[in-house]
Amino acid sequence: MRRVRLYLPQPLQADSEIVVGDERAHYLRTVLRLRPGAALTVFNGGGGEFEAEVLALGRKAVRLYIGPWHEREAESPLKIHLGLAIAKGERMDWAVQKAVELGVAAITPLLTARCNVRLEGDRAEHKRRHWQAVAVAACEQCGRNRMPAMLTPRTLADWLPGRRGLVLDPAGRSLAALPSPKTELSLLIGPEGGLTPEELDHARQAGFVPAALGPRILRVETAAVAALTAVQLRWGDLR
C-alpha cells in the first residue's frame, strides 16, 4: 500500500515528535481517516523526506513521530521557470497541478493583454495562496520533496526583463532545431487568444526564442502540459 505523503512547512528532525494542527490535522483525521500507528512520509520542501507515524489524533491536532530521513530527490536537472498567462478557474488550477507534476522549478502567473482575468487589490495574493495550495497537493501526490516557487501574479512587461528562454508561437521554430538551454530555461505561454504581436515582439527583444508545438492551436492548460513534456523530453529528465 502506498504511503500517504504530507508537506509540513516547518523544521523536521529524525527521532522526534511534533504536533500538527489546523488544516493538516483535519486532512489526516477527517479526509484520510488515519488511525494511530498509520505510517506516512513527510517532507518540508528542503529536499529529502522522513518516515513518520501517527501517534495520536485529537479533534484539533495530530501528534506524529518523525523517523529516519532519506535523501531522495525527484527534481529535474533542467530548472524551468514557467510564465503562464492566467486562465479562469479550474483550468488554471489544472495547469498549475500538471506543471508541478512535470517538474517546474517556479511558476509566475501572468497578466497579458488578452488575458480575461483581472486581479485587483488583495485578489492577487489570495489567488497566489490558492495556487500554492494546488502546488503543495501536487508535490504530495507526485513524490517531489522540493516545493516549486509560486510567485505573485504580475504583468508580462514586469516578468520579461533579465530572462531568456522560449515563447510559444505557432510561427516559431521546432524544439528539435533549438540548442540546449543548459541548466535553466524560462518558458512563456500566452493566453487562449495568444500573445499580441507587440507582446511577442517584446518577448523576442528580451531574448525569448519563438517555439512551435505543431499545427494545432492549444488551450492554455493543454499548451502548458504539452510544452513542459516536450521540453523535459528534449533536455530534462523525461529523456
**Backbone phi, then psi, for 171, in 5-degree steps?**
-95, 5
CATH number of the domain that residue 171 is part of: 3.40.1280.10
63-120 residue pLDDT tens: 999 999 999 999 999 999 999 999 988 999 999 999 999 999 999 999 999 988 888 7
Domain co-membership, 103 together with 176: yes
The mean pLDDT of the chain is: 94
142-176 residue pLDDT tens: 999 999 999 999 999 999 999 999 999 999 999 98
Domain co-membership, 175 together with 109: yes
Q: How far apart are CA 39 and CA 44, in angstroms?
A: 17
Give the total number of structural domains in the chain: 2
Confidence of residue 182 (pLDDT cuts 50, 70, 90): confident
Domain co-membership, 108 together with 172: yes
Domain co-membership, 16 together with 118: no
Q: Which domain holds residue 63?
A: 4-70
13-41 residue pLDDT tens: 999 999 998 888 888 999 989 999 999 99
Tell me, what's the pLDDT at 121?
A: 77
Selection from 169, 172, 205, 168 nearest residue 188 by Cα: 168
Q: How far apart are CA 134 and CA 139, in angstroms?
A: 9
51-67 residue pLDDT tens: 999 999 988 899 999 99
Q: How far apart are CA 14 and CA 50, in angstroms?
A: 7
Tell me, what's the pLDDT at 2?
A: 72
Tell me, what's the pLDDT at 79?
A: 97
Tell me, what's the pLDDT at 114?
A: 92
In the predicted structure, residue 231 carries a pLDDT above the cut 80: yes
Tell me, what's the pLDDT at 1?
A: 56
> Which of 70, 91, 112 is the last residue in one of the domains?
70
> Are 194 and 236 within 8 A, CB to CB?
no
Domain co-membership, 140 together with 217: yes
